[in-house]
């Protein structure tokens, strides 16, 4: 096997370690773990991710637009739902629990912080009748449609028009 020089940096200064044997599987694992966008991440973000960013489910039903998000640990007082024109904005935060325990974490995968999500609604959304509920950690926002944009059922006839005499 050939010798490869492996370059690493410690504190910004390059460290070269020579005479490392070629280990193709180890090299592949290192390449697959490489995050090309890691260098572009702002300094204030946490190493484990970009913080708390809940996923939303958006659905159109017959008479409304429904938005749902799982927000476990978010208090009602820490949520703000606003509607400006045809733009729905949901802002909130989930704060980290501060506990004084002695011990070692083996994994810390829960995320905390502030989030903001904004959605542009189509014409016909009734901004005056928006309703939001937070139950069992699930936020549901219902934006009704105005009556004039809701579908209307049209009767289908046989094609013959009655005579009006």
- What are the start-end ranges of the H helices in 8-159? 24-33
- pTM here is 0.58
Tokens coding 138? 């699930």
How many helices and strands, by DSSP H and E, does the chain display? 1, 9
- Please, are residues 124 and 50 in contact by the beta-carbon 8 Å criterion? no
For the stretch 43-100, pLDDT in tens is 444 444 457 788 899 999 989 999 999 998 899 999 999 999 889 999 999 887 766 6
Mean per-residue pLDDT, 11-25: 58
Mean per-residue pLDDT, 11-39: 63
Where do the domains of the chain lie, and which CATH numbers do they carry? 56-97+107-148 (2.60.40.790)
- Could you tell me what percent of the chain has a pLDDT over 70? 67
**Looking at residue 28, what is its pLDDT?**
72
For the stretch 20-30, pLDDT in tens is 566 777 777 77
**What is the C-alpha radius of gyration for the chain, rounded to an integer number of angstroms?**
28
């Amino acid at each position: 096997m050939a010798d490869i020089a492996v370059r690493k940096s410690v504190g910004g200064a390059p460290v070269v370690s020579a005479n490392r044997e070629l280990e193709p599987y180890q090299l592949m694992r290192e390449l697959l773990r490489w995050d090309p966008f890691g260098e572009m991440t702002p300094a204030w973000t946490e190493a484990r991710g970009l913080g708390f960013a809940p996923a939303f489910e958006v659905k159109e039903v017959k008479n409304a637009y429904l938005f749902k998000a799982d927000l476990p640990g978010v208090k009602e007082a820490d949520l703000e739902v606003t509607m400006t024109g045809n733009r729905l904005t949901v802002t909130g935060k989930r704060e980290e629990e501060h506990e004084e325990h002695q011990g070692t974490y083996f994994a810390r995968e829960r995320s905390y912080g502030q989030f903001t999500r904004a959605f542009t609604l189509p014409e016909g959304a009734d901004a005056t009748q928006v309703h939001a509920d937070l139950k069992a950690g699930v936020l549901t926002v219902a934006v009704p449609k105005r009556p004039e944009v809701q579908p209307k059922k049209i009767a289908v006839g046989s094609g013959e028009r009655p005579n009006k005499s």
